[in-house]
């Protein structure tokens, strides 16, 4: 399928269901508006799902793992090998996202979309497009065709999870040493902002090494001759395979009216890409939390979203989104379980 065939499957929000939910919420036994954003979240969930009494359980977590050739430029505080080590940790259920996914009874799936080495262990899905991107300081991260293949893999894996497990809310996470550099390059290209304003410490660079990362980004963006009006060009030249996979998964969730919880900076870069491919895709998104990575604020500004939580996090993996999920679940429970003033009249 082509990108246009995927995006054409995304329906408009069901405004009628949203308005019905909003009217019903106003009749719940509380002063109108007193549950604040929870009320607008519930109405938005109704419009997304087409159901005035929306449901978000069970949640599903998809984590896409891949490597980045640009790590050769010394842009991360950690070595590339950590990507594979953390993939093994996800399979052993020892990572933060495993713990948080478990707390919300979410289904969890790890997808190798482009790690540098094989992880031949049970529980991982291999959709490897290639063994890491190229160093985009020197050449394009991937071909346009590889970017499309990675979007397709993400789309298919999300569709599978939604169909097989009846997933009603999709949480998108990632693992990839070097991917804050790719995300910074992408957001810089999308916004035409100087890379300095979208570059941060990632996993924990010192101030001095952040300056080096900015310099690498400046060089890369000068060398890549990006067409800023073409999201696929941006993704292919300076993006990442996991960012492409998440983009595809987001398009699939939107196509199935499944609400999406966007995580931190990398997940937000994928969300911006999905939105650029289809404005409708963003209608199905919530942003779980504020990441302290400076580019995140710029990305969510493009998405025009206000995150649900502010816990000073910058981990990735889908961890912030998983922590925000209970807020969506509470919004649904409010509509489904609270009494109305009509009920009160009969007491």
Ligand X SMILES: Cc1cc2nc[nH]c2cc1C
Hey, which residues are catalytic here? 317
Q: Report in angstroms how near the CB of residue 203 gets to ligand X at its nearest.
A: 5
Residue 175 contacts ligand X per CB under 6 A = yes
CB 288, CB 323: distance < 8 Å: yes
Residue list 166-185, contact with ligand NCN (CB under 6 A)? 174-181
Residue from 263, 277, 283, 286 touching ligand NCN (CB under 6 A): that is: 263
The neighbour count for residue 36, using CB atoms within 10 Å, is 8
Return the residues of window 307-346 that contact ligand X according to CB under 6 A.
315-317
Positions 282 through 341 that interact with ligand NCN (CB under 6 A): 291, 293, 296, 314-317
DSSP 102-158: HHTT-EEEEEEEE-SS----TTEEE--SSSS---TTTS-SS-HHHHHHHHHHHHHHH
Helices within the chain (DSSP H only): 3-7, 15-26, 37-49, 81-91, 96-103, 144-165, 179-191, 207-224, 231-238, 241-255, 265-277, 294-303, 319-337, 341-345
- Considering the complex, what minimum distance in angstroms separates the CB of residue 260 from ligand NCN? 15
Q: How far is the CB of 33 from ligand X (least distance, A)?
A: 38
Please, what is the minimum distance in Å from the beta carbon of residue 184 to ligand X? Answer: 15
Compute how many residues bind ligand NCN; rule: CB under 6 A.
24
The DSSP result for 204-227, as a single string, is T--HHHHHHHHHHHHHHHHHH---
Query: Which residue in the set 248, 264, 288, 307 belongs to the binding site for ligand NCN (CB under 6 A)?
Result: 264
Q: Which is nearer to ligand NCN, 57 or 219 (CB)?
A: 219
Range 50-109, binding ligand X (CB under 6 A) = 78, 82, 86
Binding partner of residue 338 among ligand NCN, ligand X, none, CB under 5 to 8 Å per kind? Answer: none
Min dist CB 194 to ligand NCN, Å, is: 19
Which two tokens mark 8? 């054409």
- Calculate helix-pair angle for 15-26, 319-337, nearest 10 degrees: 60
In the complex with ligand X, the residue whose CB is nearer, 8 or 103, is 103
Cα–Cα dist 239/258, whole Å: 25
Q: Does 66 bind ligand NCN (CB under 6 A)?
A: no
Q: Does residue 115 touch ligand X according to CB under 6 A?
A: no
Structure tokens at 309: 């939580």
Shorter beta-carbon distance to ligand NCN: residue 149 or 199: 199
Closer residue to ligand NCN (CB): 175 or 282:
175
Q: How many CB atoms lie within 10 A of CB 131?
A: 15
For the window 69-108, what string marks contact with ligand NCN as x by the rule CB under 6 A? -------xxx------------------------------
CA distance 313 to 192: 26
How far apart CA 85 and CA 247 sit, in angstroms, is: 24
Which C-beta is closer to ligand X: that of 179 or that of 214?
A: 179
Instruction: Tell me whether residue 86 is exposed, middle or buried, using C-beta atoms within 10 angstroms of its C-beta: 0 to 12, 13 to 18, 19 or more.
Output: buried
For tokens 């035409």, what's the residue?
Answer: 192
Residues forming contacts to ligand NCN in the complex (CB under 6 A) are 76-78, 174-181, 202-203, 263-266, 291, 293, 296, 314-317
Residues forming contacts to ligand X in the complex (CB under 6 A) are 78, 82, 86, 175, 203, 315-317
């Amino acid at each position: 399928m082509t990108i246009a065939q995927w995006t054409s499957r995304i329906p408009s929000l069901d405004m009628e269901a949203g308005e019905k939910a909003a009217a019903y919420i106003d009749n719940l036994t509380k002063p109108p508006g007193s549950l604040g954003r929870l009320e607008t979240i519930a109405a938005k969930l109704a419009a997304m799902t087409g159901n005035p009494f929306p449901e978000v359980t069970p949640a599903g977590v998809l984590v896409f793992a891949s490597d980045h050739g640009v790590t050769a430029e010394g842009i991360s505080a950690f070595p590339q090998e950590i990507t594979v080590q953390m993939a093994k940790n996800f399979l052993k259920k020892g990572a933060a996202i495993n713990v948080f996914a478990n707390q919300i009874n979410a289904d969890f799936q790890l997808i190798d979309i482009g790690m540098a080495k094989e992880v031949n262990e049970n529980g991982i899905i291999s959709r490897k497009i290639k063994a890491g991107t190229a160093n985009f300081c020197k050449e394009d991260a991937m071909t346009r065709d590889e970017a499309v293949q990675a979007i397709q893999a993400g789309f298919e894996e999300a569709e599978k999870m939604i169909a097989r497990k009846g997933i009603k809310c999709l949480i998108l996470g990632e693992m990839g040493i070097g991917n804050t550099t790719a995300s910074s390059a992408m957001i810089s290209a999308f916004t035409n902002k100087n890379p300095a304003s979208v570059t941060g410490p990632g996993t924990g660079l010192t101030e001095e090494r952040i300056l080096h990362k900015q310099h690498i980004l400046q060089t890369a963006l000068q060398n890549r001759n990006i067409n800023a009006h073409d999201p696929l060009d941006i993704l292919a030249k300076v993006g990442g395979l996991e960012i492409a996979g998440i983009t595809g998964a987001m398009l699939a969730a939107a196509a199935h009216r499944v609400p999406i919880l966007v995580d931190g900076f990398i997940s937000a870069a994928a969300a911006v890409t999905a939105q650029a491919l289809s404005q409708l895709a963003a209608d199905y998104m919530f942003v779980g939390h504020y990441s302290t990575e400076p580019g995140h604020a710029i990305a969510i500004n493009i998405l025009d979203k206000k995150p649900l939580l502010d816990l000073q996090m910058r981990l990735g993996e889908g961890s912030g989104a998983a922590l925000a999920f209970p807020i969506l679940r509470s919004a649904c429970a409010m509509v489904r379980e609270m009494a109305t003033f009509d009920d009160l009249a009969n007491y």
